[in-house]
Structure formats: C-alpha cells, structure tokens
Structure 1
Amino acid sequence: MIELGQKLPATTLSQLTADGMVKHDVTELFAGKKIVLFAVPGAFTPTCSEAHLPGYVVLADKLQAKGVDLIACVAVNDAFVMKAWGEVHNASELLMLGDGDASFTKALGLSMDTEGFGGIRSQRYAMVIEDGTVTLLNVEAAGEFEASTAETVLAAL
C-alpha cells in the first residue's frame, strides 16, 4: 500500500468532458498542486451517493479556502459513469475520474475484491497529495465511513 511521503504511481485516469474523453497522466495532473483525492468503491452505491460524494460537494469551498487546488473523486468505474454520477450530485467543482481497469487503484495497493458485488473495486479512502507526494492518507476499515469524510480531511488541513 502507498505510504505517506511516497509519490503517486505513474498511471492514467479517465475523465469525460464536454470535449470528449481525456486520459490524464496522474504525474502531470497532480504536479505542482495541492490535491484532495478520495476514492469510493463504486458510483451510485449507497454510502458513496448518500454521504461520501455529497460531503465533498458541500465542503468544496472550505477545502479550497485551505489551499486545496483540486478535489478529485476516483472509482473503479468508467469515465461515462463517473460523469453521470457527478452530474446527479452537482459535483461541478470536483474532478470525477474513472479508473475503469483498476490500474491506478492496484498500483496504490488499495484494491479489494468484492466478488459478487462488482469484482475488483477501490477501498474507501481520502488522501492529500502535494506536488504528487502523499501527505495524508486515511484508509477506511471495512464497512466504516469516518476517516475519509470531507469533514475529517478538512479538519486535518
């Protein structure tokens, strides 16, 4: 599993924009910025839709006031699903990123096999990344939802 002080792995994440599909090089996307990145097991799933994503939508301005340049959400879903999920939750201030093949999630060492639920998914976590380096990493225990909330990350900044 990735640890504090480590650089993010050189992988790509996808985003569907008004101009089409964008493949973001993670190293380039997060270079020179202070980022809050949170991951969910799946778009449109209960805790993710009812609490995790909405918390970051509501607190986006407060996170930005603490010097955060970008708030990004990632899931092992395709970019089409992530765009639709973001639109449903008015997440226009967030970068909704798809990790369709789980390559980013696996490279972080934060994947889990949900078997009947959906296969390989991301563990629920939040991290702060400064110039590509992890400076805060809060990984949830199975079935928990506290360490990765927007409120917890805001309090840590």
Structure 2
Amino acid sequence: MIEVGSTLPEVDFSLLVNGEMTNPGTAELFNDKRVVVFAVPGAFTPTCSQAHLPGYVALADKIKAKGVDTVICLSVNDAFVMDAWGKANNAEEIMMLADGNGHFTKQIGLDMNTSDFGGLRSMRYAMLVEDCVVKKISVEDPGRFEVSDAESMLKSL
C-alpha cells in the first residue's frame, strides 16, 4: 500500500469537462500542485453520497483556503457516472475523477474486491499530495468512515 513519502504512479484517468471526455494523467493533475484526494468505494452508494462527498462539498472552500489547489473525488467508476454524481451533489468545487479500470487504485494498493455489490472498488481514503508525493494518507478500515472525512483533512492541513 502507498505510504507517506511515496510518489504517485503515472496513470491516465477519465474526466468529463463541459461534456467532453478528457484523460488527464498523474503528472498533469499533481505536478507542482498541492492536492487533496479522497476516494470512495462507489458513486451513489449510501455513505459516499450521504456523508463523504457532501462533507468535502461543504468544506472545499476552507480546504482550498489552506493552500490546496485542487480537491479530487476519485472512484472506480466511469467518468459519466462521476460527472452525474457530482452534479447531483452540487460538487462544482470538486474534481470528479474516474479511475474506470482501477489502474491507479491497484497500483497504489488500495483496491478491494466487493464482488457482493460491484467487483473491483477503491478502499475509502483521503490523502494530501504535494508535487506527486504523498504527504498524508488516512485509510479507512472496511465498513468504517472515521478518518477520511473532510473535517479530519481540514484539521490536518
């Protein structure tokens, strides 16, 4: 599993921008930037939709005021689902980034098999990345939501 001090792997993601598919890579998203990434097991799922994403939506401005360039919500979903989920939650200040095949999630060792409801998914976590290097990471135990929330991230900045 990725740790503090690790460099993020170079991966292409999927992102809808004004209805057009784009495929930004790790370098484009993280080089020379301070970024908060929080990952969820799935868009439109209960904890993700009722607590995790809404918390970051509510605190995005305060997080950015602490010198964060971008707040990214990452999930092993497609870009269309991530875009729709962001719109449904008024997540204008959050980049809704898709790791559709889980390439990034697998390479950082935070993948899990949820064959009961969805197959390959991301573990729930939040991390602070500066210039592609992990500076802080909080990974939830399965079924928990205690350390990767927006309030905890804001306090740690």
Task: Point out where structure 1 has 5 or more consecutive residues left out of the alignment.
Answer: none
1:72 aligns to what? 72
**Conserved 8 A contact 1:37-1:74:** yes
Distance, in Å, in 1 between the alignment partners of 2:98 and 2:121 is 12
After TM superposition, list the pairs within 5 Å mapping 1:6-155 onto structure 2. Answer: 6-18=6-18, 20-155=20-155
- Cα distance, 1:19 vs structure 2: 5.0
- SS of residue paired to 1:64: helix
Letter in 2 for 1:149: D
Q: What is the CA distance between 1:57 and its match in structure 2? A: 0.3
RMSD (CA atoms): 0.7
| TM-score after normalising by structure 1 | 0.98
Residues 51-83 of structure 1 deviation map (CA, whole Å, 9 limit, x = unaligned): 000000000011011111100000000000000
**In structure 1, how many angstroms separate the alpha carbons of the residues matched to 2:65 and 2:46?**
29
Cα distance change, pair 72–111 in 1 and its aligned pair in 2 (3 A): same
Please list every run of at least 4 consecutive aligned residues from structure 1 whose deviation after the TM superposition is greater than 3 angstroms: none
State the 1:99 CA deviation. 0.7
Instruction: State how many pairs are aligned.
Output: 157
Which residue number in structure 1 is paired with residue 156 of structure 2?
156
**CA drift at 1:146:** 1.1
Unaligned runs of 5+ residues in structure 2 are: none
In 1, distance between residues paired with 2:101 and 2:71? 22
Q: Percent identity?
A: 57
- The one-letter code matched in structure 1 to 2:154 is L
For 1:19 and 1:118, locate their aligned partners in 2 and report how far apart those are by CA, in whole Å.
26
